Amino acid sequence: MKEGKVYLVGAGPGDVGLFTLKGKHLLVQADVVVYDALVSPEILALIPDSARRIDVGKRAGSHPVPQGEINRILLQEAMAGKLVVRLKGGDPFLFGRGGEELELLSEYNIPFEIVPGVTSAISVPAYAGIPVSHRSLSSSVHIVAGHTKHVPEAQIDYEALVRLGGTLIFLMGVGALEEICKGLLRAGMPAETPAAIIERGTTAAQRTVVSTVKALPEHAREAGIGTPAVIAVGRVCALAEEFSWMEKRPLGGRTVLVTRPRNRAGRFSQLLRDYGAQVIELPCIETMPLEPNPELDEAFSRLREYSWLVFTSPAGVRLFFDALRGRGKDVRALGGIKLAAIGSATAAELEMRGLIPDLVPEIYSGEALGKALVREVRPDERVLLARAKEGSAGLPKTLKAAAVAYDDLAVYETRYTWPNADVAARMLDAGEVDYVAFTSASTVRGFVNTLGRQDNLKFTAVCIGKATEAAAKESGMRTAIAKEATIESMVERMIELGKGEL
C-alpha cells in the first residue's frame, strides 16, 4: 500500500502570491486537504477537484473542530495512505498549534514534513507600509499572543515588553485591544507612541487604522475593526502613512471573480493581481471534446470539399486539432484550406500550430465574423464551422441570410462545473466582489447555472464583447463592456470603473 504522509503547510496571510512554491506544489497533488478559517479563498481555489476538502475552521454559528479531532483526522487519512496537506494560515508554527498536530503523528510514526509560511506578524504590517524593524527606530521585534485560551491576557508581562523598547506585534488581540493598550500605558509606555491595527491584511479587504497607543482602541472601535487583525505598537508605525502602497495600486482593494475555464484563467488572473486586485477563480465552464463524433469523422473525410475552416474559440482550435491527431492525421490534411478566427486569442491558438489565419474580423463577435466571411467567400466555396455544440446563432444566421454554403460542426460541448462555488457564493452574498469578468456568453450561462439566478447583484459584470454583455444583461446584471475584445482591455475597463467610483 502507498505510504501516507502529512505536510503541515503555511498558507501565508491571504494574498495568494505569498503562498510558497513548495506549498503550492504539494497542494495541487494532495489527496486530502484539511484547512482552517484563515486560509484565503484564492488558495483554496488551488485545491484539485479530486482532493477531499475538510474544513476544520470556525464557521459563524458553529464551533471549530476540536484539536483532538483534527489530530485524529490527520492520523486516519495518513494511515489510509493519503497525501494529506494540513493547511494553516500564516506560518504553521506561529500560534498555529502546529506542534500539537505533530504529536499524534510522531507517536504513530507517520512521516511528515513542515512547510513554513509567510507569517501575518511581519507581512501584514508590511502591506500597511510598516517595516517591523528600522535602523533608527526599532532594533527588536516581539510577537505576542494577545489572547489565547491557554495564555490569558493577564499573563502578558507589559513591564518587560515596554522595557525592551522594540516593535510589539500582537496577534489574536482584537478582543483584548483595550486591555493591551492599557497594560502598556500602565507599564510606562509614552501615551503618544505610534500604534496601528490592520484588519484582513494582504487581502483586497485590508483596512488600516494608525493612531497612538492611547487612542487606538477608540479609533479602532469607530472604524469597526474586527478579527483577524494584527496590532503593531512602536515608533515604526509612524511610517505607515508615508509608506502605504497597497491601496495606491490601480485595482488595489478590488475583488474580481474570473469565470473562465480553469485551463485558461491563469494569465488573466495574473494580470489582475499585478494591478493589485484580489482574484477568485470560478471556473464555471469546462470544454469537453465530443467523442465519438460521426459528423466530425464525416467532415474529416471530406475536408478537401471545404475552402474555409472557421474557429470561434481557442478551445475549438485545440479540440479540432486533438481530434485530427486522434485520427492519425496532421495539419497536412487541411491542404490549402483558408482559416478564419473570431478574435486574437483564437488566432493565437492557430499561430501556435504554425498557421496564420486568413481572416480575423475587427470586432469580436459571431455576427462580425459572419459578415466578414460573407464578403470573402466566393459563391462556389463551402465553409466548415468548427465550434461548440451550443455555439451562438449569430454566425450561421448571417451566413444563411447571404446564401453562403456552410456546415456547422460541433467539435466540443461546454459543460457547467462548480468547484469553489461555495466560496464564490459566500463572497457574492456578502457584497465582497466588485467585478465579475465574463469572456463569453457561455461563461455567463455557466455562472448563472452554477450559482443560481441572484437578486440584488452587487457587482458589475465586465464583459469581453456585445454578445457576452447581452447574456449578462438578460440575467439582470449591471454591465460594462471592454473597448477591445481582449483581457487587457477588460482590465483597463475595471480600472476606469474604479476611478469613477471614487
Interface with ligand SAH by CB under 6 A: which residues?
Answer: 13-14, 38, 88-91, 94-96, 119-121, 124, 171-172, 198, 200-202, 227-230
Instruction: Compute how many other C-beta atoms are within 10 angstroms of the C-beta atom of residue 58.
Output: 14
Laid out side by side, the sheet with 278-281 consists of 278-281, 255-258, 435-438, 460-463, 478-481
Phi and psi at residue 418, to the nearest 5°: -145, 35
The residue (of 96 and 316) whose beta carbon lies closer to ligand SAH is: 96
How many Cα atoms are found within 13 Å in the side-chain-facing hemisphere of 302?
A: 12
Helices (DSSP H) in 49-143: which residue ranges?
A: 67-79, 98-107, 120-127
Cα separation, 502 vs 488, whole angstroms: 22
- Least Å from the CB of residue 499 to ligand SAH: 27
- Least Å from the CB of residue 478 to ligand SAH: 30
Active site (annotated) includes residue 499: no
Phi and psi at residue 380, to the nearest 5°: -90, 5
The residue (of 173 and 419) whose beta carbon lies closer to ligand SAH is: 173
Cα 35–Cα 41–Cα 45 angle in degrees, nearest 5: 90
Q: Which three cell numbers stand for residue 42?
A: 484564492
Q: Which three cell numbers stand for residue 476?
A: 439582470
- Least Å from the CB of residue 116 to ligand SAH: 9
Q: According to the 3-state scheme, what is the secondary structure of 238-286?
A: HHHHHHCCHHHCCCCCCEEEECCCHHHHHHHHHHHHHCCCEEEECCCEE
- Least Å from the CB of residue 169 to ligand SAH: 9
- Least Å from the CB of residue 122 to ligand SAH: 9
Positive/negative CA dihedral, 236, 237, 240, 241: negative
- From the list 22, 24, 58, 329, the catalytic residue is 58
The residue (of 127 and 364) whose beta carbon lies closer to ligand SAH is: 127
The residue with its CB nearest to ligand SAH is 90
The residue (of 280 and 345) whose beta carbon lies closer to ligand SAH is: 280
The residue (of 124 and 310) whose beta carbon lies closer to ligand SAH is: 124
The amino acid present at 221, given as its one-letter code, is R
Radius of gyration of the chain (CA): 28
Cα 460–Cα 464–Cα 465 angle in degrees, nearest 5: 110
- DSSP per residue, 275-336: TT-EEEE---EEEEE--S-HHHHHHHHTGGG-SEEEE-SHHHHHHHHHHHHHTT--GGGGTT
- Least Å from the CB of residue 216 to ligand SAH: 15
How many Cα atoms are found within 13 Å in the side-chain-facing hemisphere of 384?
A: 25
The residue (of 276 and 314) whose beta carbon lies closer to ligand SAH is: 276
Cα 276–Cα 281–Cα 283 angle in degrees, nearest 5: 155
Cα 15–Cα 18–Cα 20 angle in degrees, nearest 5: 135
Cα separation, 498 vs 502, whole angstroms: 7
The residue (of 16 and 463) whose beta carbon lies closer to ligand SAH is: 16
- Least Å from the CB of residue 60 to ligand SAH: 16
The residue (of 171 and 213) whose beta carbon lies closer to ligand SAH is: 171
Active site (annotated) includes residue 36: yes
Positive/negative CA dihedral, 393, 394, 398, 401: positive
- From the list 15, 36, 91, 434, the catalytic residue is 36
- Least Å from the CB of residue 94 to ligand SAH: 4
Give catalytic residue positions.
36, 58
